[in-house]
Structure formats: C-alpha cells, structure tokens
C-alpha cells in the first residue's frame, strides 16, 4: 500500500487525478510514497477523493491541507535547500 500524505491545496489544477472529475474549484495535493522516506509522486485529487484516500472528512481535509502548506512554506523559508520531498509530513 503506498503512503499518501496531504501536502497542500492547488487552486490552479481543476481536474481530479483519481476519478477525472473536472471544473473543481481546487484540488488537494497528495504526496504518494511506496515507503516512508521514498521520493514522492505528487497527485492532485478533488476534495472528495482526497478525503476518501486519506480517511478525512471532506471539509476537514481542506483545513489540514492548508495547515501543512503553511508548515511547508515556513520550513522552506528557514531552510531554502529543503524540497517538498524532504519536507513531506507523515502521519496525521
């Protein structure tokens, strides 16, 4: 089972990579890893699919995604060499 991690919100991608639904207001960025520490593949899922994939309630996942996004930005600010792969957050 690949590990899915909520990474952020993307308001420029409007198509769900999971079910192909279009015209979404925003998508949730998920990092998919085969094992902990592996290089992630980034997926953009609609809120419903992202919530299903990660066991979050719909509205909750948006809040979480924004929180992780803030955290990632903060860490990138304090360590400019950090990459999203390095910063990936595992667990809830």
Question: Which residues contact Zn ion by CB under 5 A?
Answer: 16, 18-19, 21, 46, 49
Closer residue to Zn ion in complex, CB, 28/72: 28
At closest approach, how far in Å is the CB of 4 from Zn ion? 13
At closest approach, how far in Å is the CB of 68 from Zn ion? 20
Contacts 24+ apart (CB under 8 A), 68-76: 68/6, 68/7, 68/8, 69/7, 69/8, 69/9, 72/7, 72/8
Closer residue to Zn ion in complex, CB, 44/72: 44
Closer residue to Zn ion in complex, CB, 15/38: 15
At closest approach, how far in Å is the CB of 67 from Zn ion? 22
| Closest listed residue to residue 5, CA positions, set 83, 80, 37 | 37
At closest approach, how far in Å is the CB of 8 from Zn ion? 17
Rounded-to-integer distance, Cα 72 and Cα 84, Å: 7
């Amino acid at each position: 089972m690949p590990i899915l991690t909520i990474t952020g919100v993307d308001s420029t991608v409007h198509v769900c990579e999971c079910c192909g639904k279009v015209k979404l207001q925003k998508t949730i960025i998920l990092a998919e890893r085969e094992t902990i520490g592996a290089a992630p593949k980034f997926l953009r899922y609609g809120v419903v699919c992202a919530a299903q994939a990660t066991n979050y309630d719909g509205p909750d996942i948006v809040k979480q995604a924004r929180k992780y996004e803030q955290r990632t930005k903060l860490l990138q600010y304090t360590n400019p060499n950090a990459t999203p792969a390095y910063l990936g957050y595992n667990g809830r």
